[in-house]
Amino acid sequence: MVQKAKILLVDDRPENLLALEAILSALDQTLVRASSGEEALKALLTDDFAVILLDVQMPGMDGFETAAHIKRRERTRDIPIIFLTAINHGPHHTFRGYAAGAVDYISKPFDPWVLRAKVSVFVELYMKNCQLREQAALLRLQLEGGKGAVGGKESAGLLAELSARLAAVEEQAEALSKQLDDDSADAAAVATAAHLERKLTGLRRALDALEPGTGSGGSALSSPN
């Protein structure tokens, strides 16, 4: 069962963190606070996050430097970062944010509904990826059981269950992609959804290869990233 997604909120001002929590509480996910870049990097060592909301102007390690560290780590480099800033220094400042790895750049004061909608897209994509990893883990367990070519009623039943679960994820991913297209969403969100669909296609091929009469399928399965 997929647990709630974690959202990392990084800001040196407690009142800003409170405001973010109030805005995002309706998503019913786990909100994790960090009051500095260093504290955010510590949290990222042990937990997986769907998205990071990162304040640019912070004493010590600012948002740009924090993002650079996040993107250098293999574990965290693919986590979407939304920069939040109270100061608009023009196009150069915005470009620096995107260059640091941000998927979006929002100036304060921001529209709470817009921020919540943007975050919800990345949370949904994260949940779909978690479901996909679960299906891949079940397939690996089947292969590691040493059964080779799948046969027998028990194996056939397992394959049917896996196929049904994967079909549900495929349907949800397709609906999400259509929603992103209809809403003219951020290019980063659209690209992430497309990447998810490609991984789903690969997993479907691996599952098909396990069907009786199609070979062992041992080399068809790869773990989604």
What CATH number is attached to the domain comprising 48? 3.40.50.2300
What is the pTM assigned to this prediction? 0.66
Give me the helices (H) in 12-90, please. Answer: 14-24, 37-46, 63-72
3-state class (DSSP) for residue 1: coil
Max mean pLDDT range (32-41, 78-87, 200-209): 32-41
For residue 172, give the nearest of 109, 129, 222 by alpha carbon. Answer: 129
Pair (106, 124) in one structural domain: no
In whole angstroms, give the CA distance from residue 222 to residue 203: 8
Asked whether residue 90 is domain-assigned, the answer is: yes
Tell me what percent of the residues of the chain surpass a pLDDT of 70: 66
225 pLDDT tier (thresholds 50, 70, 90): low
Mean local confidence (pLDDT), 59-77? 90
Pair (13, 88) in one structural domain: yes
Asked whether residue 12 is domain-assigned, the answer is: yes
Count structural domains, the chain: 2
Q: Which position has the higher pLDDT, 35 or 149?
A: 35
- Token look-up 């196929």 returns 163
Q: Tell me, what's the pLDDT at 15? A: 94
150 pLDDT tier (thresholds 50, 70, 90): very low
Does pLDDT of 184 surpass 60? no
Does pLDDT of 32 surpass 80? yes
Does pLDDT of 37 surpass 80? yes
Asked whether residue 217 is domain-assigned, the answer is: no
Q: Tell me, what's the pLDDT at 219? A: 41
Tell me the residue range of the domain where 50 lies. Answer: 6-110
User: Are 82 and 104 a contacting pair, CB within 8 Å?
Assistant: yes
Pair (80, 134) in one structural domain: no
Does pLDDT of 75 surpass 80? yes
